Amino acid sequence: MKLSETPLINAATLHAGIQSLAAEISIAYSDTAFIMLTVLKGALHFSSDLQRALNPALDITSEFIRVRSYEGTESNSRAQILYKPENSFAHKHVLIIEDILDTGHTASVVQNYVANQKPASIRFCTLLDKPDRRLVPVHADFTGFTIDDHFVVGYGLDYNEQYRHLPEIYTLF
């Protein structure tokens, strides 16, 4: 596999997109306490930067869930929860934070897991959306960037646990 020479999304563009998302989310939750449920490992970088960009007056609790659904460059339909949050989502507002919305398998598994606990609401935020690959009908309430069908790495996104550390998003081919 080879990394593209130039980033698909550079650091300045990522920063601007996250600032824009933070403004939208800050307005949406201006008078509502909510839980940011970060999907590990890929969304960790994004979630951290997003949380720091949110209005500091917001009432936010952080939780984490780990789901595996990729083998190499292919998403499989058997998304598996490897780590579950410690607290219940019953009667609470939940914002799921994901790195990339691709086939929809992972997002669907996470949304169903949260929905089974009867939350007050569920919203979904993704840094990247690849609608051309969607196999499961999942909608993002907040989207940073819509991209074409490329396999991307960097800024938390990986290929077999490599490239997460890159500060920008690159195409892998």
Using DSSP, state whether 97 is helix, strand or coil.
Answer: strand
* Angstrom distances, CA of residue 99 to CA of 33, 43, 125, 126, 143: 23, 4, 9, 6, 10
Q: In which element (H, E) is residue 34 found?
A: strand 34-40
Residues annotated as catalytic (active site), given as ranges: 102
Give me the DSSP letters along 109-131.
HHHHHHHTT--SEEEEEEEEE-G
